[in-house]
Amino acid sequence: MVDDEGTATCPACHGPINWRNKMSIRERGRTFMVDVTKGGKRKRIACTTREEAESVNGKLSTAVVAIMEPQGWALREAVEQCRGAVWSGKGGERSAVRNSEAALAFFGESVRLDDITTDWVDAWIARLKQIGNSNGTVNRKLAALSKVMSYAHRRGKVKARPHFERQLESEGRLRYLTQEEEVRSLATLSQWGKDDHAEAFCVLVDTGLRPSELWRLEGRDCNFENGTMAIWQTKNKHPRSVP
């Protein structure tokens, strides 16, 4: 058994041991002594047979290995693995990575996934709200960490996932640009010399495309005979046609 300070409990004498321990077996009369040295102090565990002594010694060795070579992932490693396998090349990659970095900043890069408890996640939620994050922003950050945990759990790199308490979000409201706002925006982009941005702005306003859909648009997707554009990669996975 290993506690929070990285100290194992001896399975025979129930005393603390750590990776600095040196263990040996020696015969003494009719008993076999297992010596455990820690911090310059030696403890002896008496066994009646060599087999028993070797069993105790093996358990101690296993406990030491468990400390020296943790089986699970650290948070940074898990984030990088998830990024390469799940987020890479996707439209939301940048957002997902940014939200996962928020988790790294709070929990620490080297924390083991098994150490991230539900209580600790709740503390993170409280902290995010304290610094002014909206419920929607909190949920996006929770979703990134939840995805990392799920990815690691399916690969046996974390024993259990903590619970992520999703926050209640408002439905929001529709907002349309007025003609005056559209003219002002185009004038500003023109003043800045952002002609490409101004053209993209016009297309987005006139068609209602999402920016990610516009960036992926190709010439072959535009049918000038019937005046439509084919959008193949959409947020809800259903292609659609846009006038």
* pLDDT score, position 62: 61
Four-residue CA torsion sign, 103, 94, 212, 220: negative
* pLDDT score, position 238: 81
* pLDDT score, position 127: 96
**Dist. CA 87–CA 90, nearest whole Å:** 5
Residue stretches of the chain with pLDDT short of 50: 1-6, 11-13, 17-22, 67-69
The string of pLDDT tens digits covering residues 168-190 is: 987 777 788 899 999 999 999 99
Residue 156, Cβ density class (10 Å: 0-12 exposed, 13-18 middle, ≥19 buried): exposed
* pLDDT score, position 1: 41
* pLDDT score, position 17: 46
* pLDDT score, position 61: 61
The string of DSSP letters for 131-193 reads TT--HHHHHHHHHHHHHHHHHHHHTTSSS-PPP--PPP----------HHHHHHHHHHHHHTT
**Dist. CA 212–CA 204, nearest whole Å:** 10
* pLDDT score, position 49: 85
